[in-house]
Homo-oligomer: A and B are copies of this chain.
């Protein structure tokens, strides 16, 4: 049905080899005259290249696959924008796959559709790969790199913020405003990222001479619901004067639940969010945040894929962005 270079060759009266070279613009290999003939034939037939066939013989592809976990996280789009920008610079194309939220079956499906085709590399956006799927990935010979997630024991390539610092700085920002009883809401302790944030948080308190109570840390999965649940656990009579939300969503969950409990933000309760996506300036009051540089993470990700370095574990910078959800506390 669709035209192939064979059809073009016939129509232009040359060989397929010549057609291929003209179309690939390997300029040393053909004359102007044949080139015009070939181009004319190509447009006449409405030729569409079959890249899959080409990739089969060249054994090399120019598409980067991005695997995203589909939790209701919202920073993905920022990372993807970074990825796209850098990829396009180098004439690479980007495809995105959703792997379910920690669902090994869906993860496998996404991984498979990508591994079975020629892709130049795989970027995994904060996906906690099930062990069997990690094996699959590693066995596939395709370069890969994790983004916005880190690992403990395993030696895996990843690019992320310093999560310990994230926890530390968020907490410290509150301490500097005079807060001393500070919660941490919606953080996950099953994975390295979450554990690091808790450690940073704890250390910041200790450095200020504060001993955190166990109930100050409410675990969760970074979601809006996790934030709400955490705030409900703290309760309207909480001794806390400030809370670090484990993500923007969690922070919003905390804030909305606090309001439902009759607490005003920041008058009664200060909040610092972690992530710093546009969500923070959408809500009211706007959330002060420890912001990650997701865009740069994306850029670094494709650079890593393009380089041959074996084990990069790059750290991208963070910064505190003051908005409206923290108030200065008078000395008690």
- Residues from chain B with a CB closer than 8 A to the CB of A46 are 139
**Contact, CB under 8 Å: B52 / A117:** yes
Given A97-B95, A141-B2, A284-B259 in contact, is the A116-B81 Cβ separation under 8 Å?
Answer: no
Bound-complex Cα distance A224 to B141 (A): 43
- Residues from chain B with a CB closer than 8 A to the CB of A12 are none
Bound-complex Cα distance A77 to B75 (A): 13
A15 within 8 A of B: no
**Contact, CB under 8 Å: B84 / A118:** no
A28 within 8 A of B: no
A268 within 8 A of B: no
Bound-complex Cα distance A188 to B251 (A): 33
A122-150 interface code vs B (CB 8 A; 1 in, 0 out): 00000000000000000111000000000
Find residues 28-85 in chain A having any chain B CB closer than 8 Å to their own CB.
Answer: 46, 48-53, 55-56, 63, 70, 72, 74, 77, 80-81, 84
**Contact, CB under 8 Å: B94 / A97:** yes
**Contact, CB under 8 Å: B93 / A113:** yes
Query: Residue of B at shortest CB range from A49?
Result: B116
Bound-complex Cα distance A53 to B282 (A): 48
21 of the cross-chain contacts (CB-CB < 8 Å) are A2-B141, A48-B115, A48-B140, A49-B116, A50-B56, A52-B117, A53-B56, A63-B113, A70-B77, A72-B278, A74-B74, A93-B109, A93-B110, A95-B95, A95-B96, A95-B97, A224-B282, A256-B282, A256-B284, A279-B282, A282-B283
